[in-house]
Amino acid sequence: MKTRLLSELSAEKAALLHNAFLQDLLARMEGSKFQTRLAWAVGSQEPLPASSVGAFRQTGEDLGERLFEGLSQTLDEFDLVAAVGSDHPDLSATVVDQAFERLASGCDVVLGPATDGGYYLVGVTRASIHRALFSEIEWSTDRVLHQTLERCEVLGVRVEELITLEDVDTPDDLRRLVRRLALGTGPPSPNTRSLLAEWGLIPDQGRSDR
């Protein structure tokens, strides 16, 4: 759950929105040529939520450690892996497939830049993953992408970037998402659209058509 949204939404609404993002993302990823795994940020004693795809528990003290450990664990099963966040409603299966295609064609690291200076996707291969890619990064700042690109240069790995996408971290981000959904642009997000319509933030198409 994005805590920066709590200035505009209650904790309950922010959690509902996060769940809608996740359900829409999973539905879109069904169109991908590659397999999906969920990495849950839950306590060691908490059961993993029910899921239609494979899932595991995140480990690590910060986002960098969690990314490295999660990618490393998944590389025990696959040669190419990518991690994406659930707060990117414009992320499509096509973009994810492009990331894997670039890894398969010889790229070491693939990054999907976010408009806030971070990234929405990081992809690596079994041969190219380095803990240093995720260490001493100023997470949750506008320097994340820049610092990661610098780290790739130091490590001597070949890196490629995908298209830039927005994420939803702040109330302003949410307002832009509402406008896009009202216009019907971007990948399908039926759960998110339905929830925002229920809150009265965008027109309910089902009602207006009757």
27: domain CATH number is: 3.90.550.10
> Which residue has better confidence, 137 or 49?
137
Determine, yes or no, domain membership for 96: yes
Determine, yes or no, domain membership for 93: yes
Give the β-pairing of 119-125 and 80-84. Answer: antiparallel
Q: On the CB side of 8, how many CA atoms lie within 13 Å of its CA?
A: 15
Non-local (6+) Cβ contacts of 121 within 8 A are: 82, 83, 84, 91, 95, 96, 99, 110, 111, 112, 162
d(Cα 210, Cα 197) in Å, to the nearest integer? Answer: 15
Please answer whether residues 110 and 101 qualify as being in contact, where contact means their C-beta atoms are separated by less than 8 angstroms.
no
Determine, yes or no, domain membership for 110: yes
Determine, yes or no, domain membership for 210: no
The domain total for the chain is: 1
Determine, yes or no, domain membership for 173: yes
- Whether the pLDDT of residue 1 is over 90: the answer is no
Please answer whether residues 157 and 109 qualify as being in contact, where contact means their C-beta atoms are separated by less than 8 angstroms.
yes
**117 Rama class: left (phi>0) / alpha (psi -120 to 50) / beta:** left
d(Cα 96, Cα 156) in Å, to the nearest integer? Answer: 24
- Whether the pLDDT of residue 208 is over 50: the answer is no
Confidence class for position 50, pLDDT limits 50, 70, 90: confident
- % residues pLDDT > 70 (the chain): 94
Q: Residue 207's pLDDT is what?
A: 45
3-state SS assignment for residue 207: helix
d(Cα 93, Cα 71) in Å, to the nearest integer? Answer: 19
> Which residue has better confidence, 7 or 150?
150
Determine, yes or no, domain membership for 16: yes
- Whether the pLDDT of residue 210 is over 50: the answer is no
Strand partners, 122: 83, 111
Mean pLDDT of 180-184: 91
* pTM for the whole structure: 0.90
**What tens digit of pLDDT does each residue of 110-168 get?**
999 999 999 999 999 999 999 999 999 999 999 999 999 999 999 999 999 999 999 99
**Dihedral pair phi/psi, residue 118, rounded to 5°:** -95, -155
- Whether the pLDDT of residue 107 is over 90: the answer is yes
Q: Residue 9's pLDDT is what?
A: 87
Mean pLDDT of 88-108: 96
Please answer whether residues 46 and 54 qualify as being in contact, where contact means their C-beta atoms are separated by less than 8 angstroms.
no
Determine, yes or no, domain membership for 208: no
Mean pLDDT check: name the lowest of 12-21, 41-50, 117-126, 194-203: 41-50
Mean pLDDT of 65-69: 96
- Whether the pLDDT of residue 53 is over 90: the answer is no
Range of the domain at 115: 3-203
- Give the closest residue to 17 by CA, choosing from 141, 171, 203: 171
- Whether the pLDDT of residue 209 is over 50: the answer is no
Q: Work out the mean pLDDT of the chain and round it to a whole number.
A: 90
